[in-house]
Amino acid sequence: MNDSLQQTPYAYAGTGLAVERQRVLRNTYWLLALSLVPTVLGAWVGVSTGLFQLMSPGMSMLVFFVGAFGLMFVVEKTKDSAAGVAALLGFTFFMGLMLSRLIGFVLGFKNGTSLVMTAFGGTAAVFFAMASLATVIKRDLSSMGKFLVVGAVVLMVASIANFFLQSSALMLTILVLMLGVFSAFMLYDIKRVIDGGETNYISATLAIYLDLYNVFQSLLSLLGIFGGERE
């Protein structure tokens, strides 16, 4: 009887920990869904105004890096307050604006609308597959993190290099690798929340949003290259 009494606090602690992890995961998914609204709005504003069509590719890249990393810094600084949600939604609006250049290009194809919807559906399928896989896998995936970060950095450097090289083969390689790396990142980031490695739902949402964004961008680019039909 004494043993059972001694184990009771540990049982309650374990239950409380599981409840807290589920709460973080639930809030992450809700905020992730909400973050898609300003993304779509930003993309619509960008396509409608042609704002980024007027910029040179070099200026567009500079705006992207300064804006994206600056806003991510703000999100991380405010993640423990309500201001963090507002900062995250502002960040996703900006990312939608930056996506408008690619979306505008794809919409120029005869089947552009269907390509965008296919990319959206494909990204949703990847997300649901990775989220389901994360709940099934029992092993710790934390060791994946450093390899994925290295892969992401290599891809970023390669993308910057290809801005000057303008190699079609390298671009296709980068897009395919991005699709694989950020799909794996999605699994890793969701698993971290499930295992309690990430306890702040704003930070968790930011990480998974970036995974989704890169998967969608890669898919849409590949669909535009191989499936775009000229008018």
Look up residue 221 and give its two tokens. Answer: 């680019």
The confidence score (pLDDT) of residue 11 equals 47
Question: What whole-number distance in Å separates Cα of residue 25 and Cα of residue 126?
Answer: 18
pLDDT band at 14 (very low <50, low <70, confident <90, very high): low
| pLDDT tens-digit map of 155-196 | 999 999 998 998 999 999 999 999 999 999 999 999 999 999
pLDDT of residue 161: 93
Is the pLDDT assigned to residue 66 strictly greater than 90? yes
pLDDT for 10 beyond 90: no
- CA–CA dist 27, 13 (Å, integer): 21
pLDDT at 65 over 60: yes
Would you state the pLDDT for residue 157?
94
Percent of the chain having pLDDT more than 70? 93
Is pLDDT at 47 greater than 90 in this prediction? yes
Q: How far apart are CA 228 and CA 231, in angstroms?
A: 10
* Residue 4 pLDDT exceeds 70: no
Residue partners of 132: CB distance under 8 A and separation at least 6: none
8 A C-beta contact, residue 25 and residue 203? no
Orientation angle between helical segments 82-107 and 2-49, nearest 10 degrees: 40
Say whether pLDDT at 211 is over 50.
Answer: yes
What is the rounded distance in angstroms from the CA atom of residue 172 to the CA atom of residue 157?
15
Q: Is the pLDDT of residue 216 over 60?
A: yes
The domain segmentation of the chain, as residue ranges, is: 2-227
Q: Tell me the pLDDT tens digit for each residue of 172-182.
A: 999 999 999 99
Residue 7 above 70 pLDDT? no
The gap from C-alpha 11 to its chain's centroid, in whole angstroms, comes to: 36
The residue behind tokens 């890096």 is 65
pLDDT above 50 (res 5): no
What integer best gives the mean pLDDT of the chain?
90
CA-based nearest residue to 225, from 173, 186, 185: 173
The CA distance from 206 to 90, in Å, is 12
| Between 15 and 213, residue with greater pLDDT | 213
Q: 65-72 contacts: CB < 8 A, separation 24 or more? A: 67/94, 67/98, 68/94, 68/95, 68/98, 72/206
Query: Which tokens hold the place of 169?
Result: 């083969």
Q: What value does the mean pLDDT take over residues 130-141?
A: 91
